[in-house]
Chains A and B, each alone.
Chain A
Amino acid sequence: MTTFIIRRLLLVPVLLFGVTVVIFGMMMLLSPTERSALYIRDFPKNEAALPGIIKQYGLDDPFYLQYWHWMVGRADPVSGERKGGILFGDFGFSRTASEPVVTLIKDRFPNTLDLTIWAVAPVILVGIWLGVQAAVHHNGIIDQAARIFSIVGTSFPTFVFGLLMLMLFYATLHWFQPGRLSDVNLRIISQPGFNHYTSLITFDALLNGRFDIFLDAIRHMVLPILTLSYISWATFLRVTRSSMLETLRMEYVTTARAKGLKESDVIYKHAQPNAMIPVVTLAGFQVISLLGGVVITETVFNYPGIGSAAARAAVSLDVVAVLGFALFDGLILIVANLIVDILYAVVDPRVRLS
């Protein structure tokens, strides 16, 4: 098991290198002019400045040179000072957000994490349980409801669902507000009495004993949570259900019953651990879909996370910021897949040895 984990860890730098090459290569598909657009104000008037900008930032250097400069930074032609260099933790300055990319991610990511945790945790806890129940009571009420719920969920694009939620609960019923927190509470949490243990507002509110702020935060997050998690609910339920149905037909389930085990032990001790194997695989794919869902959901609800920041950077051709977000997302994916691989070995002993 330990060697299994070490082998996986050794792969991480290799994967990261691959990720940097791919995302940088994709950015290089844009012409130097397009990549310098953000550095020029009053574009048609100041068009003459373009060649100077391209030259100053080395935007028409060969690919390997530009990639090298992105990695280790580049001496400023005027001051001679090193600028950039992601290996030194300098991801550059985002013009759209008017702050360094690293600061931007640091500020925004806790909000996204807060949202994602509240979106994903109930899915894993309740969605899997519901899937098992649907399979155990095959063709029963829970099963039928789960089937309809899953079909609707898997066929609803996130942005359509999000907009419908906004129209219904925000514009028509006025139940929930978009944004992060009410103004009153925003002021409270920025005051010294409020400790930021985790930077996640819901958790900090609980840790500070401010249940009212927690509820306020959750109230603001309900719609984004529903939008972000609906597809996950649907897929987890569907896959758990079908995997469990298949497992319940296995001979070792009959063996367990023939031993005289309680039906609950047959289901939760013998069948479910086997049925979880495909679900863990699914979890790996869900991380990818979550990263995409975060961009759409945060944009639709104007929620200040990295998803909405990335979307804004992308539409305004903020190359430096887009590279930063892409690399950060890549890192999250690699870590998530590492966790899934380890989980996979935990649930399936046959994986450990090979």
Chain B
Amino acid sequence: MPELLLEVQGLETQFRTPEGVVHAVNGVSFGLKEGETLGVVGESGCGKSVTMLSFLRLIPNPPGKVTAGKALYRGQDLLKMTDEEIRHVRGAQIGMIFQDPMTSLNPVMTIGKQLMEPLQLHLGMNKQQAAVRSAELLEMVGISDAKQHLNDYPHQFSGGMRQRVMIAMALSCNPQILIADEPTTALDVTIQAQIVELVKRLRDELGMTIIWITHDLGIVAGLAQRVIVMYGGFIVEEAPVKELYANISHPYTVGLIGSLPRVDETVRQRLFSIEGMPPVLLNKPTACPFAPRCKWVMERCWKENPPLENISEEHRIACFVDVKTGKAR
């Protein structure tokens, strides 16, 4: 078994709100192998982003707090590092890009200055070196006349160009891991495809390890080697991507796949949707969090929360039901 680059164990994150304590991440564990691309899937509010922000310690505290767990990066626990130590991991070792390129760049700072910051900070470049490198980075993500654009402000760029800038910025210090938090959600479809292609190309050129968060199973199919499906702050299914699509095992994943439009469909039919809303967990659940929306729900699902168990060597699910037969496993 290859060495794990990142290993998250039993991560729990809670938010204090006026309504009570929200359990956003509930004992999430996963590993990340060097060079692989991991897709993290789930609908809004299921804890995907919070999980990633948690181990980078980017959750605003208060109201958020990581209450338990470990996040071992090259054997060192990110959650136990000093503020100074984790700063040298962020940006330098683990880069991150966000969902909305319209709001994730500083509107009153030039693109060049924003790109140069991590270069000067982590790589110790001086201004001239950083400016030259910034222009190279912009060229790398497909922005032509990069030198002229260094003095531009974000509002002079389109959404797609801004996301390219974000990618250039996240990759500027050659990080080991790139966390992409729904980087295509806010873009229109043609730009989405361009950004996905760009990341694929850069991954192959630079040999990066990627965590790609999305709610689009279609993108994951073409990009990731392994997929984690999250629901209510739990991992409910984890499998290599081919195994997942060949052998969908969790009712929630079944619903997610069913809600995808298919281009090879001959008979037009209504898209499937999962009834109800994702839960807001004010208490640690004693039942399966998906039970209220599950069409295979059984007596047992209301009494205990199914643990994540292997159903084959690399396939884990948290469910009591076998969706093929509709009976208990």
Contacts and interface: CB of A to CB of B under 8 A. Distances in A.
Interface stretch (B100-108, B259-267, B273-281, B292-300): B100-108
Contacts of B100: 251
B107 to A, nearest CB: 7
A1 interface: no
Contacts, number: 79
A259 B114 CA distance: 10
Given A350-B153, A350-B155, A252 B88 contact: no
B166 A255 contact: yes
A23 B308 CA distance: 79
Contacts of B95: 258
A260 interface: yes
A241 interface: no
Nearest to A350: B155
B118 A259 contact: yes
B38 to A, nearest CB: 18
B90 A257 contact: yes
Contacts of A251: 98-100, 103-104
Give the contact-size bracket for chain B.
20 to 34
Q: Say what secondary structure dominates the interface of chain A.
A: helix
Q: Say what secondary structure dominates the interface of chain B.
A: loop
B87 A252 contact: no
Interface in A106-144: 138-139
Interface in B38-68: 53, 56, 58, 60, 62
Given A251-B100, A254-B58, A260 B109 contact: no
Contacts of A254: 53, 58, 98, 104
Contacts of A353: 156
B230 interface: no
Contacts of A256: 106, 117
Contacts of A255: 96, 98, 104-106, 166, 169
Interface string A251-282: 11011111111110000011001100100000
B311 interface: no
Nearest to B57: A257
A260 B108 contact: no
A335 to B, nearest CB: 25
Contacts of B60: 248-249
Contacts of B19: none
B153 A349 contact: yes
A349 B107 CA distance: 8
A260 B121 contact: yes
B145 to A, nearest CB: 19
Contact of B108 (A249, A259, A261, A274): A274
B166 A273 contact: no
Nearest to A259: B91
A258 B96 contact: yes
Interface of B: 53, 56, 58, 60, 62, 83, 87-92, 95-96, 98-100, 103-109, 117-118, 121-122, 153, 155-156, 166, 169-170
16 contacts: A248-B60, A251-B103, A252-B104, A255-B98, A255-B105, A255-B169, A256-B106, A257-B58, A258-B58, A259-B90, A260-B92, A261-B118, A261-B121, A273-B108, A348-B107, A349-B108
